Structure 1
Amino acid sequence: MTDLDLDLDLDRIARAAEVIDPVFLNSPQYADERLCARLGRRVLVKPETLNPLRSFKGRGADFLVGGLPPGSTVVCGSSGGNFGQAVAYAARRHGLAADVFVPADASPVKTDRMTALGARVHRVAEPPKERAAAHAAADPGRVFVVDGRDAAIAEGAGTIGIELLRGEPFDTVVLPLGDGALITGVARWLKAHAPGVRVVGAASAAAPALAESWRSGEVRTVERRSAFAAGISITRPEPEAVCRTRALVDDVVLVEDAELVAAMHLAADTLGLLPEPAGAAGLAAIAARDIPGATVATVLTGANADLALFGGVWSTGPAAATA
């Protein structure tokens, strides 16, 4: 570990565990015997889906937004949609307004929930983050927040690391790798309190921008060939995310769309939970890649699956994702 990770503060992660809306904290973590039998190994799962957002994103958004000045308007771009929901929820909780910019083809499931939470949703053709930045710059009362850049978001997600260490010991944790906030926040806590734990990122093979940036040590723009795993499908990571992952993440593996579908089926069959594709990335990596460790942990990070958009992929199983 190097000085690059030190902008994620351990005291602030501990503080986040005290001030984040309790509805997002202390999610269950356990080993399901049927899942372990199917995978042929000891696997701990932590579903971050049993909250009002059905996603872990509420932790970081609530911690960040709770520290903004009264009267602010929170502005963000949200390509996958879960962060936009989290910002909308946090803004409403703290009495602020929210403007969320999303792609023109964003999931109706997620955009409808943003609107229901009180956000103004803007569907745009160009990259949502760029439009959000321009919108925020036009008014000093607007605060532009960026998932993967702002330390408080990763620190809020780092509370998952605190909780993981309260349970059964594990040798490796495998976490979805998109913009990097989740894995770096969790890894920051684990590296300080359980340095022997290996931290592995599971990135979409169809959108490996942060994975390639992590390997090279430079910010890489990589056009995605599929947005199936929308929550982890970015084309260019934030420089801060590259620095943090380089300092804190031990390995990165890539998972294909068909492997994500298989992991969704596996979770539904054994856990009775239906994660969205990005939310199942860690489980997909454990099932399909050679992940070291006698006991491996993962987090199911989201369950805002829009089955209407998947069409025949879900009904016909994993093979359809490669068609």
Structure 2
Amino acid sequence: MLSLKMIQNAKEVLNGIATETPLFQSKFINPDADVYIKCENMQVTGSFKLRGAYYKTANLTEEEAMHGVVACSAGNHAQGVALAAKKKGIQAVICMPAGAPLAKVEATRSYGAEVVLVPGVYDDAAAKAAELKNEKGYTFLHPFNDDYVMAGQGTIGLEILEHLEDVDVVLVPIGGGGLISGVACAIKELKPECKVYGVQAEGAPSMFNSFRDGKIETLAEVNTVADGIAVKQPGDKTFEMCQKYVDGIVTVSEEEIASAILMLLEKHKMVAEGAGAVSVAAAMYNKADIQGKKTVCIISGGNVDINILDRIIDKGLQMSGRLTKFSVTMIDKPGQLTQMLQIIAEAGANIFNVNHDRMVRNIAVGKCIVDVTVETRNKNHCEELIEKLVSKGYDVK
């Protein structure tokens, strides 16, 4: 059973293996709170997962280690297990969703593990891993529903308390619940008055729903940019730990996650993946009561898929009102487009993209639709621009 003693032992075992990641203050996340960032995106392998994976591997029996290990992961646990197995000289087979970011797949292979790509999401990879365990006799290393794994992740909670004794609130990303189980156990056992809140993506609220309804529930599907926490069903052990130690669970939207990633890039020159940024999004948008409180956001990982980073940034810019997209229906005759673009320029917006289309179905003959993307200063500037166009008689949508 997960305990403070286990977590403290894990800290000793991880000494020299896992990095004690930085905890620093941020003036940009929420002006009404004293916010700090715990940077597990700077951990070895780029996420907190090494902690639990290595501590679990270190506690395998000789027979378990001899048979090799199998794990399932969307990417971060995979890298943690692969590196831990390599350090221990153990064979590792990792089942990953076929849609996992290529960077995570290649990084896992680079640590010497055999990667099996499975169609579907994390839960489908988990089913394949269970199948291989039975067929080949591998020892299964669960990514979250394991006492040793949770204890390893809990060392983050010990580090937070060591460096910020008077912390009031800790915001923790949740997928299956291994991270928050360990962190909440460590913090609540040592400082019970500190609030611990979990954060999930709106598109994958498995623990949120389960915690709310008091029973483990399974999602039919998950859909979120935060692939590292896209889990359909929490574990029974992690659910129990959340019920015992966690004060509440909140969700954040895809746009809020994108805004958090963008803010970290711009203000802190820091890369966070979607799963890692959900805690920051929760602080930015006041999803938990943090006003006037010392609040720590755990950035759980930084292994973002570079191929979709531009789309994430685009969504973040739209959320903050700095990139505005709209369509205008207008008369299709010479000079009309120039007049509209002149209004946009005079409003101080920078034209990013224009698409003029007179072949749209269901549009009156003699009219056209112009799709416009402009750079604006903020949401107020965006609203002012739209109002100006409407006041000039343009049909803006």
* TM > 0.5 fold call: yes
Q: Does 1:307 align with 2:306?
A: yes
Question: What does residue 28 of structure 1 align with?
Answer: 22
Q: Structure 1: 5+ residue runs without aligned partners?
A: 1-6
Mapping 1:169-248, distance limit 5 Å:
169-248=166-245
1:224–1:233 Cα contact (<8 Å) kept? no
Read off the aligned partner of 2:149 and give its amino acid letter: I
2:185–2:245 Cα contact (<8 Å) kept? yes
Q: CA deviation at 1:91?
A: 0.5
Q: Secondary structure at the match of 2:162?
A: coil
Q: CA deviation at 1:218?
A: 1.4
Aligned mate of 1:273, from 270, 275, 299? 270
Distance 2:67 2:12 in 1: 23
Q: 1:318 to 1:133 in 2, by over 3 A?
A: farther
Distance 2:53 2:315 in 1: 36
Q: Deviation string for 1:201-249 (max 9, x for gaps)?
A: 0111000011111111211111334131111111111222211111111
Q: Does 1:12 align with 2:27?
A: no
Aligned mate of 2:128, from 131, 139, 144? 131
Identical amino acids, percent of aligned pairs: 28
Question: What does residue 49 of structure 2 align with?
Answer: 57
- Bigger radius of gyration among the two: 2
Mapping 1:75-224, distance limit 5 Å:
75-78=70-73, 80-125=74-119, 127-140=124-137, 142-168=138-164, 169-224=166-221
Q: CA deviation at 1:290?
A: 4.1
Q: 1:290 to 1:234 in 2, by over 3 A?
A: closer
Read off the aligned partner of 1:236 and give its amino acid letter: Q
Runs of 4 or more, structure 1, over 6 Å off, are none
Q: 1:318 to 1:137 in 2, by over 3 A?
A: farther
Read off the aligned partner of 1:300 and give its amino acid letter: I
Aligned length: 312
Distance 2:56 2:17 in 1: 16
Supply the RMSD in Å over aligned alpha carbons.
1.8
Aligned mate of 2:280, from 256, 263, 283? 283
2:222–2:230 Cα contact (<8 Å) kept? no
Question: What does residue 58 of structure 2 align with?
Answer: 66
Q: Deviation string for 1:29-56 (max 9, x for gaps)?
A: 12133x25x5432101110122330101
Q: Secondary structure at the match of 2:231?
A: coil
Q: Secondary structure at the match of 1:24?
A: coil
Q: Structure 2: 5+ residue runs without aligned partners?
A: 326-397
Question: What does residue 44 of structure 1 align with?
Answer: 36
Q: Deviation string for 1:248-268 (max 9, x for gaps)?
A: 110111001110010011111
Read off the aligned partner of 2:143 and give its amino acid letter: D
Q: 1:225 to 1:233 in 2, by over 3 A?
A: closer
1:17–1:25 Cα contact (<8 Å) kept? no
Q: CA deviation at 1:310?
A: 4.3
1:307–1:314 Cα contact (<8 Å) kept? no
Mapping 1:310-321, distance limit 5 Å:
310-315=309-314, 317-319=316-318
Q: 1:224 to 1:21 in 2, by over 3 A?
A: farther
Q: Deviation string for 1:82-138 (max 9, x for gaps)?
A: 011111011001110110001122110000000000000001125000010010112
Question: What does residue 3 of structure 1 align with?
Answer: none
Q: Deviation string for 1:7-65 (max 9, x for gaps)?
A: 212111111101115242321112133x25x5432101110122330101000000001
Distance 1:316 1:179 in 2: 26
Q: 1:101 to 1:320 in 2, by over 3 A?
A: farther
Distance 1:14 1:179 in 2: 22
Distance 1:290 1:309 in 2: 26
Read off the aligned partner of 2:66 and give its amino acid letter: G
Q: Secondary structure at the match of 2:21?
A: coil
Distance 2:130 2:171 in 1: 32
Q: 1:320 to 1:74 in 2, by over 3 A?
A: farther
Read off the aligned partner of 1:57 and give its amino acid letter: K
Q: Secondary structure at the match of 1:317?
A: helix
Question: What does residue 328 of structure 2 align with?
Answer: none
Distance 1:29 1:184 in 2: 20
2:53–2:84 Cα contact (<8 Å) kept? yes
Read off the aligned partner of 1:243 and give its amino acid letter: E
1:262–1:284 Cα contact (<8 Å) kept? yes
**Structure with higher RCO (Cα < 8 A, 6+ apart):** 1
Q: 1:268 to 1:313 in 2, by over 3 A?
A: closer
